[in-house]
Structure 1
Amino acid sequence: MDNFKLYTPINIGNVEIKNRVLMAPMSLGYEEKDGNVSSRLQDFWIERAKGGVGLIVVDAVTVDSSVPYLGFTISLGEDKFIPKFKSFVDEIHANGSKLFPQITHPGPESISWMFGKTPVASSNYINSLGKSVRELKVEEIEAIVEQYGDAARRAKEAGCDGVEFHCAHAYMLAGSFLSPLRNKRTDCYGGNLDGRAKFAFDVIKNIKKKAGDDFPILMRISGDERVLGGNTLNDMLYLVPKFVEAGVDAFEISGGTQYELCWKIIPCHYESPGVNIKEAEAIKKVSKVPVFVVGKINDIKLGESLVERDVVDGVVFGRPLLADPELVNKGFEGRYEDIRPCASCGGPCITRERSNPVAKCAINPELGREKEMAITEAKIKKNVVIVGGGPAGLETARVAAKRGHKVTLIEKSDRLGGQINLAAIPPHKQDLTRWVKYLKVQVEKSNVDIKLNTEATAEYIKELNANVCIISTGSTPFIPKVKGIENIDAITGSDVLSAKVKDAIHGKVLVVGGSLVGCEVTETILHNAVGPVQIHMIEMLGEIAPNLCPNNKVPLMKMLNEKGVVMSTNTKLLEITEDGTGVIVEKDGKEEVLSGFSKIIFCCGAKPVNNLADELKDIEVHIIGDANKPGQVHHAIEAGAILARKIGDVENLDSEKAIAN
């Protein structure tokens, strides 16, 4: 390992942190109803402590038990929470990390409206959930300030090493006071920058009064709100020295606001790494206490470089620690190729399933299930043949080999990665290739026998003496059988992304299907355009890319609109005209003719490819990933991860049960 400064100790106040890596506060949906730390959350954080994180910041710990955040919320609003919180903190300490709870009053972002109680804020406005909030009276503000101090005192009694005070993003109560976008008061808590900051100063003073001057405060702020009328970097350069004088011991620099620029707070594909570095570097120059930066620091090498060059004092990792809890240890040991990489994809860590709204990770199926997904040696070692080297097949091979099975991976093309290779083609999606590189290296290190450019047949699998065959052959694009389809050379989105369409597409183009693939194909055509391109996208549903997270969707839709893409929803393709340049569609119950197209491209979903399964006899067969049911990448990887953990442990393993969550 290189002796990078990132891995050296640093003090926040009088507390020494063993390295300069902080774990960002993230709401994951694992909380208990009663305000305590759940066993699931504890397991999650313990794995990150074991993985080398210097300081864990626990997200959104409310100072008022009656005011919950987005869902079930950890609380330090009453003394009764101290004992259980202390046992949790002791576990974190035993595994080598320090811990700061992020104490906050959810204020405008509280879901108290669900219980008939109007959320409170600095002023009257509509919150991020579209609900009205109520302006606090001065006496109410003073009572809440006391609650912050009481929560900090409880944190200290529970053995915490300090607290984080959330004042960023024009969000939650403290953020709503600090930001001119929210605070329209004319009393002592508003009117100008000093007035808007008074609430924060009062809270800092109360924390120090009740928890002691030796109890550190880490303050999270937006270095710049990046919205006209919001706080600017200059505002923060003015306030930071004053916050230090008031008692703040370190800063975590974020940026943007939760309302106007959500993709700046949790930057995904459409933002470059390190979105808040410029502001953090400037703030460090006026701060006498350590400055940490957060915001798409998705590669530990970037973190090493920032600290080495003295741009900041330390870095804050969020989603990369969801992807790999051992991130810090692996970086310290120089095992970069073994780090399971975060691609900042905006996937299931942000875009939750409605039926089970907890955080998952596209590349790490173990997230939130650290104990139950531990990899153990198989009871019976088997000869496992996997057909298909996409994400499902690669993850299955990785885990099965680690469990002691003999694994052969057959891939008919000349490269591994499957659909991820296509998903990485559109602009801004290059980071997805990191998943393929990681999985490829891991299966190679696990001595998986990889056979590229090889067609799997029942005879060949029999020759390999397979006990188990896993079909992960993916899917093929679906082309609807509409009238007139024979009048055109049907082109699919995959044809465009895989460069089967040899030349740049120009002229008037119809994209049939407004899902994520349709949007990505449209974006790719525009990006590669040589000459004028006019794109019309039609979608049967009432929304374009309905399942895409806002952090990606907002900038994507902005770009498509700026490029003049026509997007027609509630529009069904009925027929292709005889000359192949037009279509008949049904929109809102009425037929219309769209004409003049030089290309018609189909992005209408996919159908499974799993014919081989029917040819295999007298062998245990499982079908996973898109070969079972086309879906998102995390579904494929999760299916492979779960199945591989059961092979050799369960007799007559049923495929459907094996891949069930």
Structure 2
Amino acid sequence: MFDKLFSPIKINQCEIPNRLAVTAMVANYCNEDGTASDKYIAYHEAKAKGGWGLIITEDYAVNEHAMGYKYIGGLWNDGQIESHKKLTDAVHKYDSKIFAQIYHAGRQSGSLVNGGVQPMAPSAIPCPWLREMPRELTIAEIEQIVEDFGDTALRAKKAGFDGVEVHAAHGYLIAQFLSPYVNKRTDKYGGNFDNRTRFLKEIYENIRAKVGKDFAVTVRLSVVEDMPGGRDMAESRILAKLIEEWGFDALHVSCAVYGDHNRQIVSPMYVSHAWQADLAAEIKKIVNIPVFTVNRINDPRMAESLLEMDKADIIGMGRGSLADPDLPNKAKAGDLQSIRYCIGCLQGCTGALYVGGPITCLVNPSLGEEYKLDYSKVENPKSVLIAGAGPGGLEAARAAAMKGHSVSIYEKREFLGGQFRSAAYPPSKGELANYTTWVTNELEKLGVNIYLNTEVTKELILDKKPDVVIAATGGNPLVPPIKGIDKAHVVTAEDVLLGNVSVGDKIVVAGGGEVGSETAAHLGMQQREVSIVEMRSAICMDLDGVNKYYLKKILNEYEVGAYVNTKVVEILDDGVIVENSQGQFTLAAETVVLALGYKPNNGLTEQLKEIHHNVITIGGALKTGNALDAIKEGFDVGISL
């Protein structure tokens, strides 16, 4: 099935055992001084154990002010080498090879994370996301940074890395010099194409002079920046041929820069799978060195087909490796059902980075915990009864069963997944169902007993006498005391999404958060006349900028109206009275959809505490949250029993 995927390939003198690469992703797992932590080492070791052919680490800073994040690796001084040697030794216990990605963040940084200095760039133009004004680099500073890259590459070699990847993509400093979108200089490092590429050429020459001819040196390049005035494919074709001519050993084709208004460095589920592969294929036609492709490739069969079509030589699955570090080994064994596929939600892998935290993963709650988790069976197994089969309850059941406990799940509805099931219904979110099908398959293998259409009651607990009860009953929709809210044509967003109710052609959605906006998009695509009423100043406020951008594009395309700073006053038989600063007015409505949030459904917890000494409440039954929180809480409780 995977003849090409599991064939070896050489980059310079480094032989990589298969074509699956973990591409560089910021994890924020290192120590603040750039040294490798136990957490960081174990995180990479899990991937090597899982069978990935090549692991490319995140963004190693070339000097102490080059960092775009506070807890990334660094090799700007010799004192950092020892800890990263422990990393490469850990990876080399397996067949995997490991490259250090080296970079300078340039303007895509800030004084809070880069040692307290003003960011620097080719020109004084702020990053769209970070917005801190950068200082234009002097010629002398540019020359010093060139030396820093070479010195960092040499330290990477001393630390046992099999190669380095020069990060010239994603809007970081080298990409800034390459791009007329950012580089407005008129000296020898700006203006025409040869001047803008000079910085990268000098960096390569400096690295090669210091590491020697047999050490693998590759480059990651955004061939399309997706920004007005940014570098385009026509220029990148020229640059690709130069990159090979200079002597780089492989070319990693990527796209984009920081900002919400492009298909993104890390694409959300709104973007098609493997959308960058055709760009890599264009580059592959004109160079002879190995070419990587990446982005929204989450299935080994998808990867194999790209190799068969000669789109690329190596397939990057960064986020896929977060969701399942064991993906290569499972694919090689033909066990595709056991692969925990990335769903493209971006909630843990990029969402945490926006606030400076370490990455997590919605579908893989063990991510970042590899260094301290113990999966050995308990000596005294318990009987564990879980009330509720939402994502938190399902994950608690999986973790507890892995530890050897006898686990039963009771769900009052006829399906597993809870509110996460309806979350897969809005446009572009169908992959959310992958998690529910995966965890269901795992629970079957683990022998977990599942009872549907069965509500947990005091009588059931007294009859079954479990050692532990986990209340994972989720939340109930908020139904505020609005006049007319009990009318028959007033329905919940979940019932609309699941098709439990029929709706009219004129619809008002009360609530413009994530659930309300996605439900409105779902209805808009059915060509209904939809309006959102939101009390806050904007819709989609609880979404990150990238997902918000794509969801609002759908809402705009399907002409969904939005009334912000507006509240629902009364629901009529044929409309909704609303109020804002302009006064009261009526919106026609045959159906009113409530998406006003949730409140904890913790009534069962209060009842059971009267008769049971060990009741643990998790997820939405404890406090309002999301699936990321619920799955992590469920896993933590289950694994610790």
TM class, shorter-length: over 0.9
For 1:45, give the aligned amino acid. Answer: H
2:468–2:614 Cα contact (<8 Å) kept: yes
Pair 1:386–1:73, CA change in 2 (3 A) = closer
Counterpart residue number, 1:556: 551
Give how far 1:568 is off. 3.1
User: Within 1, Cα distance between the matches of 2:354 and 2:98?
Assistant: 31
- The percentage of counterpart residues that share the same residue type is 36
1:513–1:603 Cα contact (<8 Å) kept: yes
User: Within 2, Cα distance between the matches of 1:111 and 1:300?
Assistant: 38
Counterpart residue number, 1:659: none
Task: State how 1:121-160 maps to structure 2 within 5 Å.
Answer: 121-128=121-128, 129-160=130-161
User: Within 2, Cα distance between the matches of 1:187 and 1:534?
Assistant: 56
1:156–1:162 Cα contact (<8 Å) kept: yes
Counterpart residue number, 1:621: 615
Partner SS state of residue 126, structure 1: coil
Q: Residues 70-106 of structure 1, C-alpha deviation per residue, up to 9 Å, x if partnerless?
A: 2233211122222222222222212332221111122
Q: Residues 128-174 of structure 1, C-alpha deviation per residue, up to 9 Å, x if partnerless?
A: 311222222223222211111111111111111110011113x1110
For 1:140, give the aligned amino acid. Answer: E
Counterpart residue number, 1:650: none
Pair 1:646–1:70, CA change in 2 (3 A) = closer
For 1:528, give the aligned amino acid. Answer: Q
Counterpart residue number, 2:561: 566
1:70–1:109 Cα contact (<8 Å) kept: no
User: Within 1, Cα distance between the matches of 2:174 and 2:200?
Assistant: 7
User: Within 2, Cα distance between the matches of 1:256 and 1:552?
Assistant: 16
Counterpart residue number, 1:68: 67
User: Within 2, Cα distance between the matches of 1:502 and 1:619?
Assistant: 44
Q: Residues 460-501 of structure 1, C-alpha deviation per residue, up to 9 Å, x if partnerless?
A: 343334222222222222211123434563211112111122
User: Within 2, Cα distance between the matches of 1:29 and 1:543?
Assistant: 31
User: Within 2, Cα distance between the matches of 1:471 and 1:419?
Assistant: 15
Q: Residues 302-325 of structure 1, C-alpha deviation per residue, up to 9 Å, x if partnerless?
A: 112212333211111111111111
Counterpart residue number, 1:608: 600
- Range with bigger deviation, 285-294 or 112-121: 112-121
2:489–2:590 Cα contact (<8 Å) kept: no
Partner SS state of residue 257, structure 1: coil
Q: Residues 340-360 of structure 1, C-alpha deviation per residue, up to 9 Å, x if partnerless?
A: 221001212211288872211
User: Within 1, Cα distance between the matches of 2:287 and 2:471?
Assistant: 57
TM-score by length of 2: 0.95
Counterpart residue number, 2:76: 77
User: Within 2, Cα distance between the matches of 1:150 and 1:371?
Assistant: 30
2:508 to 505, 510, 528: 510
User: Within 1, Cα distance between the matches of 2:261 and 2:247?
Assistant: 30
Q: Residues 259-287 of structure 1, C-alpha deviation per residue, up to 9 Å, x if partnerless?
A: 36454211112101112100011111111
Partner SS state of residue 59, structure 1: coil
Counterpart residue number, 1:637: 631
User: Within 2, Cα distance between the matches of 1:613 and 1:257?
Assistant: 48
User: Within 2, Cα distance between the matches of 1:52 and 1:106?
Assistant: 30
Partner SS state of residue 174, structure 1: helix
1:21–1:317 Cα contact (<8 Å) kept: yes
Give how far 1:58 is off. 1.2
1:536 to 531, 537, 542: 531
Q: Mark the runs of 5 or more structure 2 residues left unpaired by the alignment.
A: none
Partner SS state of residue 352, structure 2: coil
1:63–1:76 Cα contact (<8 Å) kept: yes
For 1:592, give the aligned amino acid. Answer: Q
Counterpart residue number, 1:238: 238
Give how far 1:450 is off. 1.7
After TM superposition, where is structure 1 displaced by more than 6 Å over at least 4 residues in a row? 353-356
- Range with bigger deviation, 289-298 or 234-243: 234-243
Pair 1:302–1:405, CA change in 2 (3 A) = same
Matched, 1:576 2:570: yes
Counterpart residue number, 1:653: none
Pair 1:457–1:18, CA change in 2 (3 A) = same
Pair 1:463–1:133, CA change in 2 (3 A) = same
2:274–2:295 Cα contact (<8 Å) kept: yes
Give how far 1:32 is off. 1.3
Q: Residues 46-74 of structure 1, C-alpha deviation per residue, up to 9 Å, x if partnerless?
A: 11111111221111111112332222332
Counterpart residue number, 1:655: none
Note the aligned Cα RMSD (angstroms): 2.1
1:351–1:548 Cα contact (<8 Å) kept: no
2:389–2:411 Cα contact (<8 Å) kept: yes
For 1:527, give the aligned amino acid. Answer: M
User: Within 2, Cα distance between the matches of 1:487 and 1:14?
Assistant: 73
Q: Mark the runs of 5 or more structure 1 residues left unpaired by the alignment.
A: 648-661
Partner SS state of residue 645, structure 1: helix
2:539–2:564 Cα contact (<8 Å) kept: yes
Pair 1:159–1:619, CA change in 2 (3 A) = same
Task: State how 1:96-135 maps to structure 2 within 5 Å.
Answer: 96-112=95-111, 117-128=117-128, 129-135=130-136
2:260–2:545 Cα contact (<8 Å) kept: no
Give how far 1:602 is off. 1.0
1:68–1:112 Cα contact (<8 Å) kept: no
Counterpart residue number, 1:593: 585
Matched, 1:388 2:382: no
Give how far 1:581 is off. 1.5
Give how far 1:456 is off. 3.2
1:537–1:565 Cα contact (<8 Å) kept: yes
2:10–2:16 Cα contact (<8 Å) kept: yes
- Range with bigger deviation, 186-195 or 235-244: 186-195
2:534–2:567 Cα contact (<8 Å) kept: yes
Pair 1:291–1:607, CA change in 2 (3 A) = same
Pair 1:487–1:640, CA change in 2 (3 A) = closer
User: Within 1, Cα distance between the matches of 2:304 and 2:424?
Assistant: 26
Pair 1:178–1:408, CA change in 2 (3 A) = same
Partner SS state of residue 265, structure 1: coil
1:50–1:326 Cα contact (<8 Å) kept: yes
User: Within 2, Cα distance between the matches of 1:271 and 1:160?
Assistant: 34
Matched, 1:18 2:17: yes
Matched, 1:313 2:313: yes
User: Within 1, Cα distance between the matches of 2:374 and 2:263?
Assistant: 33
2:70–2:356 Cα contact (<8 Å) kept: no
User: Within 1, Cα distance between the matches of 2:428 and 2:639?
Assistant: 34
Task: State how 1:296-445 maps to structure 2 within 5 Å.
Answer: 296-352=296-352, 357-445=357-445
For 2:363, give the aligned amino acid. Answer: I
Counterpart residue number, 2:258: 258
Give how far 1:241 is off. 1.9
Pair 1:487–1:416, CA change in 2 (3 A) = closer
User: Within 1, Cα distance between the matches of 2:355 and 2:60?
Assistant: 25
Partner SS state of residue 296, structure 2: coil
2:29–2:39 Cα contact (<8 Å) kept: yes
Counterpart residue number, 1:652: none
User: Within 1, Cα distance between the matches of 2:471 and 2:137?
Assistant: 60
Partner SS state of residue 202, structure 2: helix
- Range with bigger deviation, 116-125 or 483-492: 483-492
Pair 1:578–1:528, CA change in 2 (3 A) = closer
2:566–2:578 Cα contact (<8 Å) kept: no
